[in-house]
Chains A and B, each alone.
Chain A
Amino acid sequence: MNGATEFKVTFDDAAIADIKTRLSMTRLPNEPDGNAHWDYGTNLSYMERLIAEWRDNFDFKAAEKKLNTYKQYRAALTDDKGQTHQVHFMYEKGSGPDAVPLILTHGWPSTFREFLEVTDMLAHPEKYGRSGPAFDVIVPSLIGYGYSSCPAVPVGPAVMADLWHKLMTEVLGYKTYVAQACDWGSFVTSRLALQHADAVRAIHLTMLPLRPYLRHESQKPVSEEEGKWIKEMGAWWRQEEGYRSIQSTKPMALAFGLMDSPAGLAGWLADKYYRLGDTDKTTTMDGMIARFPFETILTQFSIYWFSGSINSANTLYKAGPAEGSALLKPGEKVSVPVAYSEYPMDVLPVTPRSWAERGYNIQRWRIMEKGGHFAAMEEPEYFADDVRDAFAELL
């Protein structure tokens, strides 16, 4: 390893005492009648329970210990504009001499913790009675998230993709590698495949963020099925896009409250876990708690809180679009082999494969039966098996 220093997560005692005081002093909102299914946003009874759990029952030291299960490092990497970032990453070498390097990238509102369960499964399949490739697992924190540094000038996924490539090649010494991701991670990973196609052997995505340039001769007219899907997606987004809308225009209008109030931070993020996870939405909180136990979700929120990164994390929604890296150029397409696995997400309709193929070289296509937007956390074995099988097929 070249130029990386070891890193351990620390939740220090003073900060733990401080968050408990803040949680005790929380001033809660009231709630409109009819919010049992979170229709007006994060449910109040759930939040009352979460605040009590965080303050009274959550074992900060156990969570800290678990986050340090695998070796972690920070590497100073400089982007094209000369800005230097501390890239935090978790690293577990796979079993055997032929382990394939795999970089897994999380999104918002998640952290590197999303991949804690699947790291062992992917690095050491034999421990789980699985054959198939073992992977050297590399899990970075997005720039501005968790234990990567907060950039003075916000950066987007194209910049992060170049940093990831430097991490994999210059720091870790790999010539080629594979990548997997969802959410913002899928953005970075798609850009990685576009910008470093010579080194990226294949990618596995659970979200397809790059948009095809439709007004180009290589693109067929939008089919009836695609048109229907686009319309249904639009209707869903109109209900759900508030967070994205504010984070992409005025993240600093929101930041002060989320940086000051752990309940505020949790209220803002819990909504996404409820909505995008494969939660039983017929219940007010049982389904949510079953899918995302407090131990797990409060570790996620604690990382955001103790690292003080919610502001820089949210700002990715402004820096990303500003980079203009979401729209493929006329005729451009991700050429490396792509495995796409779509997990059920709320009431969203299944993506038409024809749409996916406009921007991606889809070589493997799966519609998954369980697990949602946070699949690696929600259904670790199911997720790990799918990723392993996919790369076994594509490599």
Chain B
Amino acid sequence: MSAPTPFKIDIAQSLLDKIKAKVAAYEWHEMPAIAEGGNRWAYGTDMDYMRELCAYWLSAYDWRKAEATLNKYPQFKATVDGQEIHFIHVKGSGANPEPLLLTHGWPGSVFEFFDVIEPLAHPEKFGGDANDGVTLIIPSLPGYGFSGKPKTPIGPKGTAALWDKLMRDVLGYKTYIAQGGDWGSVVTGYLGYNHSTLKGGGAKAVHLNMFGIRPPALPETDAEKQWAAGAGMTFELEGAYLRLQMTKPQTLSYGMMDSPVGAAAWIVEKFYAWSDKRGADGKEHIENAFTKDQLLTSVMIYLVTGTFNTATWFYRGMFEEGGANMTPGTRIDVPVGIACYPKEFLVFPPRSMMDKGFNIVQWTEFDHGGHFAAMETKTVFADDVRNFVKKVKA
């Protein structure tokens, strides 16, 4: 355990130059022919879009500008059980701001939350009440971004234990609320399951925007069975990255560490596949959900830190922890908020099944947004989380 030391991102120009040189030298190749009007992402990442993105990367994208944004809020590093943890720490407005721990996922980073930091910490700037402000703690997962690289894979259960120590022992918060999507949802689920205030930990409520930790229940009703069939189908079509990363992350890593365009294609495909890309014209386009700058900054965080590899270890880490299932007869008893975004790819089971594992006090269904809800919906996400905090903080 160590006291937090202030941290600022400052990437060596030589590394930025090397990355750019490789992008510039990329030799474009063929992709399978797509019929007129067909989905150009049917085989994975669309070549035309990658060309467009890389052209922008070389001519217009400015890492130093992104770096300044990423350095906008106070950042620290602290060592917990030998694992170095990077985190953003923003004090909220009001007399007694509630601490709220936000956890990102893969292939994301702390950058996922940049559009919701101000609305959550300082609601008065957006026409809200200063007393609804929360103090934000936004860590980078072990092996991700500016956190240290573990020697062996760490999974969500292990990370939840680190987070609870970070919050209580390092930062001195006796209790806190936690929120997460993707891996963040699994880690946050484990905070509610293993480290709640009812079990001697500090997590007093959790808010999830992806189905992560599983209730100890099998599908029973027709709706539950229908959900299970749909989830199984999604896994067949979308689950390959997960199967690979949880078994042989090293086999994938040589290409992804060496090739910036390769890593970008792997990551951007997920931003495409899991987001709400619907536009006003009724057509889908990735840039209805994200700007090129957002995509490239998300990718660059992996490249400048050299963490593509260690980030994928998290999957293997969960595999080694034995999955993420609640034991029969147990549940998360502290208050739980569930946010269902329509284009999430790992959708929650029906409420009837969720109630068997979660003490749900807030269940919100949205008509817009996907897996990267904080980035995609911004104030909608912030409003939902703020409502939850107000509901459970007392």
Contacts and interface: CB of A to CB of B under 8 A. Distances in A.
A29 B243 contact: no
Nearest to A259: B29
Contact of A260 (B22, B31, B32, B313): B22
B71 interface: no
A311 B29 CA distance: 9
Contact of A242 (B31, B44, B47, B243): B243
Interface in B215-260: 236-241, 243-259
Contact of A268 (B243, B252, B264): B252
A114 B153 CA distance: 37
A28 interface: yes
B261 interface: yes
Interface in B25-48: 26-27, 29-33, 41, 43-47
Contact of B258 (A28, A31, A150): A28
Contacts of A312: 30
B207 interface: no
A69 B264 CA distance: 41
Contacts of A264: 254-259, 262
A263 B258 contact: yes
Contacts of B265: 252-253, 255-257
B152 interface: yes
Nearest to B265: A256
A33 interface: yes
B149 interface: yes
Interface string A242-254: 1101101111111
B45 A256 contact: yes
Interface stretch (B178-186, B194-202, B303-311, B371-379): B303-311
A28 B254 contact: yes
A99 to B, nearest CB: 38
Contacts of A289: none
B250 A249 contact: no
B294 to A, nearest CB: 19
B266 interface: yes
B141 interface: no
B316 interface: yes
Interface in A17-47: 25-35, 38, 40-44, 47
Nearest to A247: B240
Given A41-B249, A41-B251, A260 B239 contact: no
Given A152-B32, A252-B43, A252-B47, A261 B262 contact: yes
Nearest to A262: B258
B27 A259 contact: yes
Contacts of B27: 259-260
A250 B44 contact: yes
Contacts of B43: 250-252, 315, 318
A250 B264 CA distance: 14
A267 interface: yes
A154 interface: yes
B248 A41 contact: yes
B80 interface: no
Interface in A125-172: 150-154
Contacts of A35: 250
A338 interface: no
A264 to B, nearest CB: 2
Closest 5 CB pairs of A and B: A257-B262, A264-B255, A267-B254, A252-B44, A242-B244
Interface of A: 25-35, 38, 40-44, 47, 150-154, 238-243, 245-246, 248-261, 263-268, 271, 308, 311-312, 315, 318
Given A29-B256, A268-B255, 17 more contacts: A27-B258, A32-B316, A38-B250, A40-B248, A152-B30, A246-B240, A250-B43, A256-B45, A256-B259, A256-B266, A257-B259, A260-B26, A260-B262, A261-B254, A264-B258, A265-B255, A312-B30
